[in-house]
Amino acid sequence: MSVLKTKCLSTKLTADEWATVARAAAGQPLSAWARTTLLDAAAAPPADQILLAEILALRALVLHIQVAVHNGDPVTLEHLHRLMARVDADKIQHARERLAPAPGTIPGRIR
């Protein structure tokens, strides 16, 4: 069953902005393209979350490799692939946890 769309969002564009949007829509109806693009952007993690996730993943990889080398364990390609898969699977969640304000704090304010 289709859900009825009852809310409207509009904006004004310059001629150049309209041309840019029309090119990006690549022949799709502009309203359909705009709706999909807006919903995709709203669902995407913020850039700071993505960057922190990558930094945390890199940190985890480096630390795991350092510990393995320190212990004299071989670091094989297979071991690295498994490690990368595990780190990638958890990186966004770890970033969200780090970016979430601590209980009892005001977001954006350093205590």
pLDDT, position 104: 64
Structural domain boundaries of the chain? 47-99
DSSP state of 27: T
Q: Is the dihedral of CA 70, 76, 77, 81 positive or negative?
A: negative
What is the C-alpha separation between 99 and 52, in angstroms, rounded?
Answer: 9
pTM (whole model) above 0.85: no
Q: Is the pLDDT score of 108 beyond 60?
A: no
